[in-house]
Structure 1
Amino acid sequence: MDNTTYIALSRINALTHDLEVTSNNLANANTTGFKSSRELFSDYIVKQKDIHGIPGERTEAYTQDRATYQDHMQGQLRQTGNLTDFAINGEGFFAVQTTQGVRLTRNGQFQRRSDGTIVDISGNPILDRFQRPIVIPREDDVLSVASDGTISTQDGAIGTFDLMTVDNLNTLQPEGNYLLKPTTRTRVLPHKEIRQGMLESSNVNAITETTRMVEIQRDYDLNFQLVQTESTRRTNAIDKITQDASS
């Protein structure tokens, strides 16, 4: 293969990953608290001199897949009326205890187990600032959470929903469709706003993602056609040289 083919293949490789990321965004357009991801590309510049005996310098640009990052823009808050549904307005994440360690999430679709423990949709306990599970006494049948996270029952305040964050959101590693693994030190947010009876929708715009998929597919097809055309050209050239040599 010559450099033209390598350049096209580098683009195809990057577009394949971009298509996977965009497809995942679209598949989670209705997932509570989901944050869309984006691909970060750059041109990898290569300078070569005296190519094939031709004097001078030539610059070639290869596509490099640098990273995948999340867009942490807040999704729309929607009313549910469920007392164990919670949405975060502004910064912060709920902390949950998983079998792999503490994880962060914006998905506040919680449940109350029979023992009173508040858990997420996968059964992971929700933690307070001291990384202790939040438990509502079994005998308490009234649950009220103020905007500052204070949890109250008919007997008064019993605890607090605390929100965690990290200094650089780009260091959070997605796990599944709603959990984030902190790779740096977490800290408690001093100010928070929690809405009971509401959930945060995915921040994915389905129309935008669909348009993006069409653009990626079109770009992919053009580069694939370039590879096929270049392959055909090289095959024809080799056949002609072979025929001339044998004649």
Structure 2
Amino acid sequence: MEQAVSIALSRQMTLRRAMDIVANNIANANTTAYKAESPVFNEFLMPEAEAEDRGYGKAAALSFVLDTGTHRDLAEGNITHTGNPFDVAITGDGFFSVETANGVRYTRAGHFTVDNTNQLVTPMGDPVLSNAGAPITINPDDGAVEIARDGTISAGGNTIGRLGVVNVENPGAMKKTGDNYLETEQDAVPVENATVMQGFIESSNVKPVVEMTRMIEVMRAYTSTQKTINDMGDLQQSAIRQLGREPN
């Protein structure tokens, strides 16, 4: 009985983690270029010897649920027209490089603007880097800004620079650091033939209806597991009462 409760509790812990991820996906359904996530669970099989040491008996190894990580869906979100000349969407693989106080970070959220020092920056005020790894300065007096599909930025017929679009060997292993940024220790390499679209942004790839369905499934599973734990507790209390009765 005790082992059944322990296994059920391991399931509940992973279900709580799953609910947190689903809730975060729903909260970011309108976040530019946000990528939906899902939990990764594996079976943890406790060896029979260890189970016996813990007082679980030697009948069989115990199977627990183990939270092993998070999977990020890298599918491209819808490309939405904004008309803002500093909004840029990447079509295909790749990330923009951004210089932050904590080092270079990567993002697909191309909702940019020009700050009071004429640098192209993210909404957090961090400089967007060129393909040469330097901040991009845009003089408003040079005229209307145009961004070609290869990322080349020009104004008044003069080339200013080119957006740096890079990729890594395993994008799924990149870690979130907040503000829609990712970090990695992998080597970032320029994306050949990268394609960007001026006046567009990539929407979140979260599907709210799917996430709501998942939320209902998680809630039902959690409730069912809690009922199992309660039933086991009632059974244990009943057994204790029966054993505690004085013999006639």
Moved more, 129-138 or 1-10: 129-138
Q: What is the correspondence of 1:73-88 to structure 2 with a 5 Å cutoff?
A: 73-88=75-90
Q: Name the structure 2 match of 1:21.
A: 21
Is contact 1:116–1:136 with CA below 8 Å preserved after alignment? Answer: yes
- The TM-score, its normalising length taken from structure 1, stands at 0.93
Q: Deviations over 1:194-245 (max 9, x none)?
A: 0000010000000000000000000000001111111111111111111136
Aligned mates of 1:172, 1:47 — CA distance in 2: 33
Q: Could you tell me which residue of structure 2 aligns to residue 148 of structure 1?
A: 150
Distance in 1 (alpha carbons) for counterparts of 2:216 and 2:210: 10
Q: Which moved more, 1:173-182 or 1:34-43?
A: 173-182
TM superposition shift of 1:56: 7.3
Q: Distance in 1 between matches of 2:209 and 2:141?
A: 47
Q: How far apart in 2 are the matches of 1:195 and 1:229?
A: 58
Q: Give how far 1:47 is off.
A: 4.7
Displacement of 1:167 after TM fit? 0.5
Distance 1:177 1:229, change over 3 A: farther
Alignment match, 1:70? 72
Gaps of 5+ in 1: none
Give the superposed CA RMSD: 2.2
Contact 2:36 2:73 in 1 (8 A): yes
> Aligned partners of 1:93 and 1:115: how far apart in 2?
24
The answer on whether the counterparts of 1:76 and 1:201 sit within 8 Å (CA) in structure 2 is yes
> CA–CA distance in 2 between the matches of 1:115 and 1:16?
46
Q: Which residue of 1 aligns with 2:8?
A: 8
1:188 aligns to what?
A: 190
Q: CA deviation at 1:48?
A: 3.0
Q: How far does residue 178 in structure 1 lie from its aligned partner after superposition?
A: 1.2
1:42 partner letter: N
**Is the CA contact 1:75–1:202 (under 8 Å) kept in the aligned structure 2?**
yes
CA-to-aligned-CA distance 1:165-185 (integer Å, 9 cap, x gap): 111112200122511112211
Match of 1:238 among 222, 237, 240: 240
Q: 1:209 aligns with which of 207, 211, 218?
A: 211
What residue identity is the alignment partner of 2:101? T
Does the Cα contact within 8 Å between 1:165 and 1:189 map onto a contact in 2? yes
> Tell me, what secondary structure is at the counterpart of 1:244?
coil
SS at match of 2:159: strand
The answer as to 2:41 corresponding to 1:45 is no
1:105-133 CA-to-partner distances (Å, cap 9, x unmatched) read 01000001122100011111101123211
TM-score by length of 2: 0.93
> In structure 1, what is the Cα distance between the partners aligned to 2:95 and 2:246?
71
Q: Which amino acid aligns with 1:71?
A: D
Aligned residue among 200, 206, 215 for 1:198: 200
1:77-116 to structure 2, matched below 5 A, reads 77-116=79-118
Q: Which moved more, 1:95-104 or 1:133-142?
A: 133-142
Give unpaired runs (5+ residues) of structure 2: none
Q: Secondary structure at the match of 2:40?
A: strand
- Asked if structure 2 preserves the Cα contact closer than 8 Å seen for 1:47 and 1:57, the reply is no
Distance 2:35 2:92 in 1: 14
